[in-house]
Amino acid sequence: MADVFTTRTLDIPTGSAETVHDLTAACAEFLDQTAHGRDGLLNVFVPHATAGVAVMETGAGSDDDLLSALHDLLPADDRWRHRHGSPGHGRDHVLPALVPPHATLPVIAGHLELGTWQSVVLVDTNKDNVNRQVRLSFLG
C-alpha cells in the first residue's frame, strides 16, 4: 500500500497565443518536495475541457511542429458545431481527444523517469483562456 498521496495545483499563465508549455521543471520540484526518494507515480492532470498534457521532445522546433500538426488536424475555422468564443474555438474542445488531459509517469527514487529527450508539456490551443491550472499528484 502506498505511504503517501500528495497533490498540488499549479497556476500557469498561458497567455492569448497557442502554446506548448514545459512542465518538467515544475514536476521535478514537486517531486523533490514530496517524494523524498520513494518510488511511485506522478499524475499530471489539466482540469480544462480545452487543454492537454503530452510527453514529447521540446525545443529544436518540436513545439511548433506539434502546434502546426494540430492546426492541420483541427483547423480554426467555422466547421465546428461548438461555436462560442473565438472563431474556430470548437476545435479546442476536440483537442483533449487527441492530446489527453492527463499523463501518469514513473518516479524512481524520487525522480521523474523520462527518456533522454522527453519533457512533460501542457498543450493549450485555446486563445480565450489565458490562465490554466495543472494538478500534480504523487502516489508513492
Distance CA(26)–CA(22), nearest Å, equals: 9
Host H or E run for residue 126: none
Q: How does DSSP assign 25-76, residue by residue? A: HHHHHHHHHHTTT--EEEEEE---TTEEEEEE--STTHHHHHHHHHHHHS-S
Contact (CB, 8 A) for 124 and 50: yes
- State the cell numbers at 110: 524520487
Q: From CA 46, how far away is CA 50, in angstroms rounded?
A: 9
- Of 94, 93, 73, the C-alpha closest to 85 is 93
- pLDDT by residue (tens digit) across 53-90? 999 999 889 999 999 999 999 999 989 998 888 888 99
Q: How far apart are CA 123 and CA 17, in angstroms?
A: 11
Domains of the chain: 5-139 (2.60.120.460)
Determine what percent of the chain is predicted with pLDDT higher than 90. Answer: 86
109-128 per-position pLDDT tens digit: 999 999 999 999 999 999 99
Instruction: Give the cell for residue 65.
Output: 511542429
